[in-house]
Chains A and B, each alone.
Chain A
Amino acid sequence: MKHTFRQVFHSGKFVVGFSIFMGLLLIVFVYPVIIKYPPLEVIGQGTFFPPGIYVNTFDSINAPTTYTLILDNAAAKRISNKLSNDDRLAMKEWLVSDGIPDTQIDTSDIVSLLDLWEKNFDPTKSFPGMTYAKERYYQRVNASLQGILSTEAEIIAAQNPQTNALEQTGVVKQTDYVNISNVANVRVLLLGTDNFGRDVLGELVKATGVSLQIGLVAGIIATLIGLALGLLGGYIGGFVDDIIMFITNMFTVIPTFVLLILISFSIGQEKRGAVTIAIVIGFTSWVWTARAVRSQVVSLRNRDHVNLSKLSGHSIVHIIATDILPYIASYVVMAFILQISSGILSEAGLSILGLGPRTTDVPTLGLMMNWAMIYQAEILGKWWAYFPVLVTIALITFSMNLMNTGLDQVFNPALRD
């Protein structure tokens, strides 16, 4: 046993796959311990907030201490943040259409550009070929330019509840800074929010856990059924084997996906929990294990040690447990690994069809994908809603297959390099 493990962990492929998988598992277990936000809490009022650090504006203005930092490029950064390169080119385009020579306009020199703009821009002016949308765009740009070069402080005012008049409560200078640790509310959304306004990262970690559970349950069920049928058919043979092979052959040809769809739809939305889906997947995917186990057992059945055991009068259960199972254990483990990964993929495929677990209580990788697709995240360019999910699925299946190939190379001498 010890020797086998040492051999397995000497296989490079297995080790890589194993480390990826363990890394994922570690994240699934450790992340919720460190970050205790509920994964399905709706926090964003709106869809698909981009990834980043969200700092509460109110709290930063009211931070207990403010610091003054004199940074050279602060003003330039402020301007370029408000006025992107595209905006500058668009401004240039407008000015050129207005009749100002191309050479006089320098988009890198903000001051002269703004100067020209202020002198010439007329929001009511429209050029032939300019759409209404474009006209509105220029009006918006013009509005955002108001006060862009000012160096004055902004005044904070609050409404007095008695008089309803605005009273100055503070002044924010352009050189004011707060330390982020002094801001009461900062939320790091490394992967932004999804279509419901939920934190994608927390959801993803939770979903990975649930999907792995689904894969595990489906894999255990499929392996147990496949193992039982394969052992029965292979060892007993005869009529039992014929029947089992008949059923197995039939289910290899009938597409599993279709069976999954039919069963999941019949179960109904209310009764479809993650576990139910896992059980359904397990009950439809045992075929390959059964075939592999049976062919192994058939070749083992007439080996000398098995015959000796029979002659000694051991029971069938004893023979199977001590003389057959140890020989096929490595195959079963490999098949089990593949079953887990295909179970996760099946769940994802079902969920995309809208037949996955019901959406309210647990996230799964497939459901996250499904919602991202429904809200067209891929067309809108909201990569954080679907790409991490895809990467996670690919990492899980990839690591499992690597482990499987590694094991295969250890246990199957014909495949060794």
Chain B
Amino acid sequence: MKGYRKYFLNKLVWFLVTFFFAFILNFILPRLMPGDPVAGIVARLAQGMTNTTGVQAIYQQYANLFGTNKPMLEQFFLYVRNVVHGDFGFSFSQYPRTVADVLKSSIGWTLALQFPAIIVGWIIGNTLGALAAYLKKGFDKVIMPISIFVSNFPAFGMAVILLVVFGVGLKWFPTSGGYGFDLIPNFSWGFVWSVIVHYQLPFWSIVLIAIGGQAIGMRSMSIYELNADYVKYSRFLGIPDRKIVGYVFRNAMLPQVTGLALSIGTMVGGALVAEIIFSYPGLGFTLLNSVTGGDYPLISASTLIITVMVLCANFLIEIIYGFIDPRIKTAQAD
């Protein structure tokens, strides 16, 4: 256990540093752009207003709210203080709700949808890829082209196809929302059932996309491992095939875990778009609404939350990786 401490600390420091930079980027990118964001917002809000003093007052109010009239460094500390307090200001498009309130209601949906979907997709994809590498021939010939095609399919495309086939055509599942529009969230059977039914299409569209890429990666990793010397040696020793396959897939799995850590950001991006297609009440849909509503505080806060989520997931995977990769244990013990 002692050997892991260095690994964990290393990963933790890395996580914090990345988080810090992501935070700064989130703060600085919108402010680096030419033009005054507050002026843009006021121009939108004050459309048709002829009273210049009124416009001026609105401008002042928003400039104070965001602190854009202060020097950059002071703005930054103001921003840090607000974020630490969970205060992201008011949402423009859903006033008088606060941004924190809007995010609180959507983050649960996204977490419950995306992480199970990505993990299920990863598991199914790896199993299929491993099977394709091991069984070869017919299975491989069928699985591979499908996987390549599916993994190249845009995430929203898969969502649209599922929606049209199962939602509009076969009418098996509802086409939009997180639960029936006629229901109020509660813990009755009717509501839970409605949530489950609405969950299926977005869930499977994310799973399908994840499967393709993972299957391709796992297949080539497994083929590489199956040709390794230790496999041939074990065969000579007469170790049963089943046991060798176990070793092979354990070894092929490791890069796939790292692969998941590296690609989780992209996957979340695709999944957010899938949420939009199904009008699922998660962060993706919130993001869409905030973009269409020009809701600057909401965009900034949701991108920050998404980044934090991805970074956390990444950190978690790295930690798990530390446990399952024996090389890390030996490296740290030295």
Check: A345 CB closer than 8 A to any chain B CB: yes
Is there an interface contact between B157 and A254, defined as CB atoms closer than 8 Å?
Answer: no
Is there an interface contact between B160 and A386, defined as CB atoms closer than 8 Å?
Answer: yes
> Do A250 and B266 form a contact, CB below 8 Å, given A354-B292, A390-B161, A397-B152?
no
Docked Cα-Cα span, A256 to B303, in Å, equals: 11
> Do A254 and B175 form a contact, CB below 8 Å, given A265-B291, A349-B155?
no
Q: Is the interface of B mostly helix, strand, loop or mixed?
A: helix
> Do A348 and B152 form a contact, CB below 8 Å, given A259-B25, A415-B220?
no
Q: Which of A253, A369, A390, A397 has the most CB of B within 10 A?
A: A253
Chain B residues, CB < 8 A from A71 = none
A 329-353 binary contact with B (CB < 8 Å = 1; else 0): 0000000000001000100110011
Is there an interface contact between B272 and A348, defined as CB atoms closer than 8 Å?
Answer: no
Docked Cα-Cα span, A51 to B314, in Å, equals: 47
> Do A345 and B35 form a contact, CB below 8 Å, given A259-B29, A262-B26, A402-B148?
no
Q: Which of A183-191, A223-231, A376-384 contacts B (4 or more CB under 8 A)?
A: A376-384
Check: B139 CB closer than 8 A to any chain A CB: no
Check: A63 CB closer than 8 A to any chain B CB: no
B 1-38 binary contact with A (CB < 8 Å = 1; else 0): 00000000000001001100110011001101101010
Check: A32 CB closer than 8 A to any chain B CB: no
> Do A378 and B160 form a contact, CB below 8 Å, given A349-B154, A354-B292, A394-B152?
yes
Check: A302 CB closer than 8 A to any chain B CB: no
Q: Which residues in window 392-417 of A have CB below 8 A to B? A: 393-394, 397-398, 400-402, 405, 414-415
Check: B288 CB closer than 8 A to any chain A CB: yes
Distance in angstroms from B304 CB to nearest chain A CB is 9
Is there an interface contact between B307 and A352, defined as CB atoms closer than 8 Å?
Answer: no
Is there an interface contact between A257 and B269, defined as CB atoms closer than 8 Å?
Answer: yes
Q: Which residues in window 356-372 of A have CB below 8 A to B? A: 369
5 shortest A-B CB distances, which residue pairs? A257-B269, A255-B265, A266-B33, A397-B152, A390-B157
Known pairs A381-B168, A386-B160, A394-B154; list 7 more (Cβ under 8 Å). A250-B21, A253-B311, A256-B266, A261-B303, A266-B32, A266-B37, A393-B157
- The interface of chain A, by Cβ under 8 A from chain B, is 249-250, 252-259, 261-263, 265-268, 341, 345, 348-349, 352-355, 369, 373, 378-379, 381, 383, 386, 390, 393-394, 397-398, 400-402, 405, 414-415
